[in-house]
Structure 1
Amino acid sequence: MSTTYRSTRGGVNGFSFEQAILSGLAADRGLFVPETIPKLPANALETWANLSYEELAVEVMSLFIGDNEIPRKDLQQLVAKAYKHSDSNFRDPAIAPVVKVKEQLYMLELFHGPTFAFKDVALQFLGHLFEYFLERKNRLEKSGKTHRITVVGATSGDTGSAAIYGLRNKKNVEVFIMYPHGRVSAIQEQQMACVLDENIHNLAVKGTFDDCQAIVKDCFADAEFKQTYSLGAVNSINWARILAQIVYYFYAYFRISDKSKKIAFSVPTGNFGDILAGFYAMKLGLPMEKLIVATNDNDILHRFFSTGAYHRTGVEHTISPSMDICVSSNFERYLFALCGDNACTLKQWMDTFETTGKLTVEGPLLAKAKAEMVSFSVLQPDVLTTIKEYHQNYSYVLDPHSAIGVAAGDAYLKENDDVNVVVLATAHYGKFMPTVLSAFDTKVELPQHPILKALESLPQKSKVMENSVEVVQDFVREVVPSNQVPKCVFGAVNHFLPQSTLLKASIVLAVGAIAFAAVQRSNKN
C-alpha cells in the first residue's frame, strides 16, 4: 500500500510520492508530510542489522514508497546509482562510516560524497529520482509534450554544490542555485561555480541565506510561474531529502556494537532538515534516547527548545556559514507533529510567525518538545577550542560545523553518563581550511584533499543578482523556455497570442472559422 502525502497547512492532501517530490512545496506554502507514518516490519531491528548501506536504504525508503509507484527493482537500481562507490561519487564503500573517536562519542561521517558534505547523501538520490520520474512521464506522454523540471534552490553553502553535482547533465532538468554573495566559504563557492554544464546556473544574491530561501518560497507560491516553468525543489523542503537522510540514522544505530547504553544523536542544525530526519527515524521506532539540537550563534532553535520562543532576529555571519540561518524552513514539519498533526493550528502558527516574526509555545507542548530534543548553542570561540582539543587529544580533525555537534554532544554527556552519543559529521574539514587552521596557536600542517585542492585552478561561472524575486524570475525566463506546451490547435494559437483578451477571442474565433470551413470543404470533396 502506498503512503500518501499532505501539506502541513491543510490545503493539499492525497498526493502520491511522485506528486509530492515533483511539487516540492505545496500550493498553500506548506510542506509535504506523510499522511500516516508507517511502522517498522516485525523484527526489523534484527533483520536489518547487517545490511549494507544500499540494502538498508531500499528497506527504509520502501516504507514510504509503494511498489506501485516505484517497483522495488527500480528502487534498487536508483539506490545503486546514487551510492555507487567510486573516486568521483562516494569514496568510502561504507557510504557513511561510523568512527569511534573516544569513549561514548562516535562520528557518523557523512562527508565522503562528491562535494564532501552530508547533503550528497540525499541529493545524489534526488537527482536520479528526478530523472527517473521525468523519463517515465515522457515515455508515457501521448501528446508530444516533453516534461521538464526547473530546479530553483537556495544554499547556505553545501546544498548548492551537492544539488549541482546530483543534477548536472540530467536530461530535461535546468538548475538555478542561489547563495548569499560573500557569505559562503571560498571552496563552497568554487565547488558550485566550477561546474560549467549548460543546465547549471549559479546566482550570488546580495543578501543572506534567509533572503535566498524567501525567494525560493515566493517562486513556488507564484502559481503561474511554478506551472509555467515546472518548478522543482532540492532544498530540504523536498520530502525526498528527508527520506534519504532517515537511512543513516538506522545505519549508525546498527554500527554501534555497545547496546548496553542508550543512543543520542547530536546534529549540527541550521535549516532543521538533518535533525528532522532523525525525528522521523524516532517516530518509525528507532531506539533513541534524545536528539541534540546543536546551533551556532544564530540560536533561534536553541531558544525555542529552551524557552518555547521561536522569535526571528537578524543573522550573524559566523565561522560555520552553513548554519547561519534564522528561519529554519523544515521546522514547520516538526511543529506540525508537535501540535498533533493539526493543520489548522499549524497554519495559524505560521501565519502569525510570517506576520510578526514570533511564535511561542508553552505548557504541555513545550514539555513535549523538550522530551524529544535538547539543545545547545555553541559560540565561535568554543568551536575553535573544540577543533583544537580534538586534534590534539584524539588526532581527529573537525570542520567548524561538526565541531558544534561535538561540543553539544560533550555538553550532553556531562549531564548524562549512560549514553553513547553519535555526532553527525556534516562536512570535511578541507572545505573550511582557513577556519580550521585558525584554531591552533602554532602552525599545524593539515593535508588538503587533492580533489578540493584542484578546485582552485578550475574555471568558474556565476552571476551576481539583486535580492529580488522579480529579478531572479526574469533571469529564469531568459534561460528557460516556457513549459506550457500546446495540446491542440487552439492551445497553439493561445501560446502566441497577445495579452489582450478581446484580441485573443477574435483571433481564436477566426482560426476556428477557418478550420471549420476547411473541414466542410473536405467533406464535400
Structure 2
Amino acid sequence: MRYISTRGQAPARDFADVLLAGLAEDGGLFVPETWPHFSPSDWRAMRALPYPALAARVMQPFVGTSIPFAVLERICHEAYAGFGHPAVVPLVQLDTHLFVQELFHGPTLAFKDMAMQVLGRLFDYVLTRRDTRVTIVGATSGDTGSAAIEACAGRDRIDIMILHPHGRTSLVQRRQMTTVLAPNVGNVAVEGTFDDCQDLVKAMFADTPFREQMHLSAVNSINWARIAAQVPYYVAAALALGGPDREVAFSVPTGNFGNVLAAWVAGRMGLPITRLTIGSNRNDILTRFLDHNDMSIQQVEPSLSPSMDIQVSSNFERLLFELLDRDAEATRRAMEGFRKTGRMVVADPVWHRARSRFSAFRLDDAGTEAEIRGLRSATGYLADPHSAIGIAAGRAHPAGPGVPMVAMATAHPAKFPEAIERATGEHPALPPRLADLFNRTERFTVMPADLGAIEAAVRALAGRNAAA
C-alpha cells in the first residue's frame, strides 16, 4: 500500500513512512493511493473474530508489507488486552433501532485509546527496526493528549510534547495529561483555543529545518495511522448488526472529523453504510456546512463538550480530496483559501455529494444537559456530553425503516463530572485505577501561542532526553 498527499506535492510513501511523517511536506494529509475493498464473503468471515484479531485483519491492507501480519496481530492483542470490557467495544441497545457503541473502556476512558494504544506499539516496532527516535508533537482539545501520553510515556525512542488550550479542558482531562511525570513527556497549556494549538503543530511541521532536526511525528488524526486504527470498531458494529447483509448507519460526535471519516472509510471498503450523521455543539462549522454550504470560521466558544470546541476540522481535507475526485490542485487551492479568508468555497455539486452521505445536527449546552437527563430517565443510560450529542443526532436523523443507527459513545461520563451532576444530580465516579487522580502531582507550563517559544520548549525536551 502506497500513500499520496491530498495536495499532490509530496512523494508517495509506504505505511511505515507515513506513520513517522504524520503530515505531508506540502501541508497536505496522506491518503491511500487506492482504497482496499473486502467482498461480502470476506466480511462474513470476520464476524466470529474477537476484536483484536478483527482490528488486525481490517488494518492489514493499510499496513501492507511495512509490518508483518503476525506482528500486527500481536500489536493489536497487546493494545486491547488491558481494556475494561471483554468485548472492547460493546454495543448497548437504547431503542428498537438505536444502539450505542462504547469506545471508552481504554486506559484514559476515551475513544482516542482505540487508536493510540495501537500507535504507540507501531512506533516502537518501526523505530526499533530503523534504530532511530522521533519527537511527537500533538494538539488536543481534551482526550487525544491523555491517550497519546498514556501510549507513549516511558518509551525509549519517543519524546512527546502535547499542547492543550489553557483552561478549556475538563479537570479530569487536564490531570490525565499533566500528572504523567515520565521524563519523555511534556505538557504545554497554550493561551488560546484548540485551533491555536493545532495551528502551532502544523506550523512546526511546516518549519522544515525544525522538523528535520527534531525528527517530528504526529499523533493527531492528521496521522493516517490514527484513522486506520479507528476503522475496525465501525466494522465490528456493522458485523454485529448483520453486515454486510444488512445496512447500518452511524452517528458520530465530532470536531476534527477524524472519527466520522473512519466510518466513511469503512463504507468505502465495502460495508453497506447508508448514512453518517455528525453531531456538533455550539461550534457547529460542520453542521453549517452540511445544512447551508457555509464552511466559515467563527470564534470558538467553550462548551460542555470541549473535545468538540473546534472550528478548523483538519480531516475534512481528506474527504474534500475525494469529493473533488482526487484533484490535488483543487484541494490545495480550497484549503489555502480557507486558511487565508476563513471561508471555504465549495461548489454546489460537490456540496450535494457530501450531503448524499452525511447529515448533521447541532445541540447547545442546554440541549445537551436535557439529553443527558432524558436518557438517564428513559433508559437508565448515563452518557457524557459528547456521547449525548451523538445519541441525539442519531435520533434526529434516522436512517430508514429497519436500519440500525449506532451512536458512538466517545468518553466515559466520569471525565465530565460537573456536567453530569448538573444534568442528573449524580456524580459519576472514576474507575478505581484513576481514583487518586486529584491527589497526583501535576507538571505543565503555561505559554503564549508563540511558535518560537513552543519550538524552544520542544527542543529542550528532546535535547534533555537525548543527552540522558
Does residue 389 (structure 1) correspond to residue 399 (structure 2)? The answer is no
Q: Is the 8 A contact 1:110 1:118 kept in 2?
A: yes
Give CA deviations for 1:170-192 in whole Å, capped at 9, x if unaligned: 11100100000000000001101
Offset from partner CA, 1:444-478 (integer Å, 9 cap, x none): 46444333332011111111111111110011222
Match of 1:53 in 2: 51
Partner of 1:220: 205
Shift of 1:379: 1.4
- Say whether the 8 Å CA contact 1:228–1:483 is kept in structure 2: no
Structure 1: distance between partners of 2:390 and 2:444: 32
Question: Deviation per CA, 1:342-371, whole angstroms, max 9, x where unpaired?
Answer: 101101101111111111223321111101
Partner of 1:491: none
Equivalent pair of 1:201/1:462 in contact (CA under 8 Å): yes
2:315 maps to 1:335: no
Q: In the superposition, relative to structure 1, how do residues 42 and 258 fare at CA in structure 2: closer, same or farther (>3 Å)?
A: closer
Aligned partner of 1:472 in structure 2 is 454
Is the Cα contact below 8 Å between 1:430 and 1:452 reproduced in 2? no
Following the alignment from structure 2 to structure 1, what is the Cα–Cα distance between the partners of residues 122 and 183?
20
| Residue matched to 1:366 | 351
Which residue, 237, 240, 245 being the options, matches 1:255? 240
Structure 1 gap segments, 5+ residues each: 139-146, 486-525
Counterparts of 2:53 and 2:460, CA distance in 1: 43
* TM superposition score normalised by structure 2: 0.97
In structure 1, the residue matched to 2:299 is 314
In the TM superposition, residue 434 of structure 1 has moved relative to its aligned partner by: 0.7
Aligned-residue CA RMSD in angstroms? Answer: 1.8
* AA at the equivalent of 2:43: L
Match of 2:112 in 1: 119
Aligned pairs for 1:80-229 (under 5 A) are: 80-84=77-81, 86=82, 90-138=83-131, 147-229=132-214
In structure 2, relative to structure 1, the CA distance for the partners of 1:77 and 1:258 (3 Å cut) is: closer
* TM-superposition CA deviations, 1:278-329 (whole Å, max 9, x none): 1111111111110001111101000111122211111011010000000011
Is the Cα–Cα contact under 8 Å of residues 229 and 482 in structure 1 kept in the other structure? no
- Report matched runs for 1:230-241 at 5 Å: 230-241=215-226
Superposition deviation, residue 258 in structure 1:
9.0
SS for the counterpart of 1:244 is helix
Question: What's the counterpart of residue 74 of structure 2?
Answer: 77
Does the Cα contact within 8 Å between 1:131 and 1:170 map onto a contact in 2? yes
Q: How much does 1:260 deviate?
A: 8.4
Superposition deviation, residue 483 in structure 1 = 11
Q: What SS does the corresponding residue of 1:33 show, helix, strand or coil? A: strand
Deviates more, 1:95-104 or 1:322-331: 95-104
The structure-2 alpha-carbon separation of the partners of 1:446 and 1:483, relative to structure 1 and needing over 3 Å to count, comes to closer
Q: Aligned pair in 2 of structure 1 residues 207, 106: CA closer, same or farther (>3 Å)? A: same
- Distance of 1:212 and 1:175 partners within structure 2: 15
Give, in angstroms, the shift of residue 380 of structure 1: 1.2
What SS does structure 2 have at the residue aligned with 1:480? helix
Amino acid at match of 2:330: T
- For normalisation by structure 1, the TM-score amounts to 0.86
C-alpha spacing 1:76/1:258, structure 2 compared with 1 (3 Å): closer
Q: Is the 8 A contact 1:152 1:231 kept in 2?
A: yes
Q: Is the 8 A contact 2:138 2:145 kept in 1?
A: yes
2: CA distance between counterparts of 1:260 and 1:484? 53
**How far, CA to CA, are the matches of 2:348 and 2:334 in structure 1?**
16
SS at match of 1:30: coil
User: In the alignment, which residue of structure 2 is the partner of 1:65?
Assistant: 63
The corresponding residue for 1:449 is 431
Please show how residues 266-281 of structure 1 align to structure 2 within 5 Å: 266-281=251-266
What count of residue pairs does the alignment treat as equivalent?
Answer: 467
Counterpart Cα distance in 2 of 1:482 and 1:6: 35
Residue 10 (structure 1) aligns with: 8
Alignment partner, residue 493 of structure 1: none
CA shift digits 1:402-433 (9 cap, x unpaired): 000011111113x8444211000000000001
Q: Which has the larger radius of gyration?
A: 1
Moved more, 453-462 or 223-232: 453-462
Q: Do 1:228 and 1:482's aligned partners in 2 also have CA atoms closer than 8 Å?
A: no
How far is the alpha carbon of 1:484 from its aligned partner? 11
Q: Give the share of equivalent positions with the same residue, in percent.
A: 42
Matched, 1:428 2:412: yes
Specify the SS of the correspondent of 2:353.
helix
Q: Please tell me the residue identity of whatever aligns with 1:116.
A: L
1:24 maps to a residue whose letter is G
CA distance in 2, matches of 1:270, 1:474: 29
Taking a change above 3 Å as real, the CA distance of residues 372 and 355 of structure 1, as seen in their structure-2 partners, is same
Instruction: Provide closer, same or farther for how the CA distance between residues 482 and 229 of structure 1 changes in structure 2, counting only shifts above 3 A.
Output: farther
